[in-house]
Amino acid sequence: MSIEVKIPAVGESITSGVVSVWHKKSGDFVNAGDALFTLETDKVSTEIVAEKAGLLETKAGEGQEVKIGEVVAIIDDSKAPSEEKKTEEPLEKKKEPEAEKKPREEKEKKEPPKKEKPLSPAVRRIVEEEHLESGKISGTGKDGRLIKGDVLTAVQERKSVGETANFPSPAAEDRQTQPETGRFTRKKMSPLRRKIAAQLVMSQQTTATLTTFNECDMSAVQELRAKSQEAFTKKNGIKLGLMSFFIKAAVEALKAVPVVNGRIEEDDFIQNNFYDIGVAVGTERGLVVPIVRDADKKSFAELELDIAGYAVKAREGKLKLEDLQGGTFTISNGGVYGSLLSTPILNPPQNGILGMHKIMPRPVAVDGKVEVRPMMYLALSYDHRAIDGKEAVTFLIKVKECIEEPKKLPLDF
């Protein structure tokens, strides 16, 4: 009996997606629960698994856009792996003389065949895009599996030494496959990138966005982290980062200026009395904003664990739709990329977004004297239709005060 593998519904507003990578090939025998392919939509990436065991026949290629409900593969559950072995083994025995069989078996005992370890979607995507040979890269993950850091290191090594035999240059391959007169390459935008583009344009067109700036001295937070890091890490199994401080500070500021924690809906203003904070995470596919739920009720350790968990899921393409929905306010840290100052764009229907930036030693006046302090510029973009300048500035000053005097935060470590 043949079973159709159809593109499942993954969200109310999602009508199509892209088969980004097949984890099984046409002709492979698959077991129930095996990951068949990764479906990339404008919101999330989802691994689609086999419902039953059988022989796989693919109907859609990698990179092909498919609609919800479309058949992309067929599984023949009348076939079993044992049948394939039975039909193949006699042929091998007939073809191979006994004189050649014994030396081959002795050689196989000495040199067992290398089994290719499975790659995660994120690692596979980098390997394919950068034209790497995964078998020639040393894995540092569990059981020697390749992790993202391994392949990124391989990419950097290739760039530093130039084109080698093991790592052919993608640029060289492009020159072979494209005409010499070609001055550009056209490729279709991914569903996520198209969604990001549409969302950003919609944000600019439907909100009255304004940005206000301030700066904060990071000395106290840095000292507190250095003092508490060892005990915090030993107790919770994770490091005490900066983001948890800014989430806590943002919650305190939202409580002090509630209008920032709301949204406009047609002619109504909706005031949120809960604090679900979005934390922007950059991935190879684009920017995603998973939500830290009930941030006001969580400890520093719980916040750090949530952030780390979302970061891993985002980079591996395993975020679920519910992980990205329902935030009331967003924090974006451009400082991790070296950004000194920026004007973050609102994430509708939210009223505000806080931009963090790079910590830079700068001379500042302290008690009438010039001192060099670790300073960070803060930016608050807000919807001026709902929030006045006074409220925006008050919010940003509250964040600044909580960071410069961490004792004003509910410290629990």
| Residue 90, helix vs strand vs coil | helix
Q: Which of 77, 276, 296, 384 is catalytic?
A: 384
**Burial (CB count within 10 angstroms: exposed 0-12, middle 13-18, buried 19+), residue 199:** middle
> What whole-number distance in Å separates Cα of residue 354 and Cα of residue 346?
9
3-class DSSP string for 114-169: CCCCCCCHHHHHHHHHCCCCHHHCCCCCHHHCCCHHHHHHHHHHHHHHCCCCCCCC
Identify whether 374 is preceded by a cis peptide bond (ω within 30 of 0): no
147 contacts 139 by C-beta, under 8 angstroms: yes
DSSP codes, 278-296: EE-EE-SS-EE--EETTGG
Angle at 297 between CA 352 and CA 299, to 5 degrees: 105
> What whole-number distance in Å separates Cα of residue 149 and Cα of residue 140?
9
Q: Which residues contact 382 (CB under 8 A, 6 or more apart)?
A: 209, 210, 211, 212, 260, 346, 351, 352, 353, 392, 395
- For the question of residue 76 being annotated catalytic, the response is no
Question: Sign of dihedral through CA atoms 251, 255, 260, 261?
Answer: positive
Q: Which of 131, 174, 294, 388 is catalytic?
A: 388
- For the question of residue 150 being annotated catalytic, the response is no
Q: Which of 275, 276, 269 is nearest to 386 (CA)?
A: 269
Q: Which of 46, 111, 17, 40 is nearest to 322 (CA)?
A: 46
| Residue 14, helix vs strand vs coil | coil
Read off the tokens for 316: 């591996």
Alpha carbon distance, N-terminus to C-terminus of the chain: 59
Q: Catalytic amino acids?
A: 384, 388
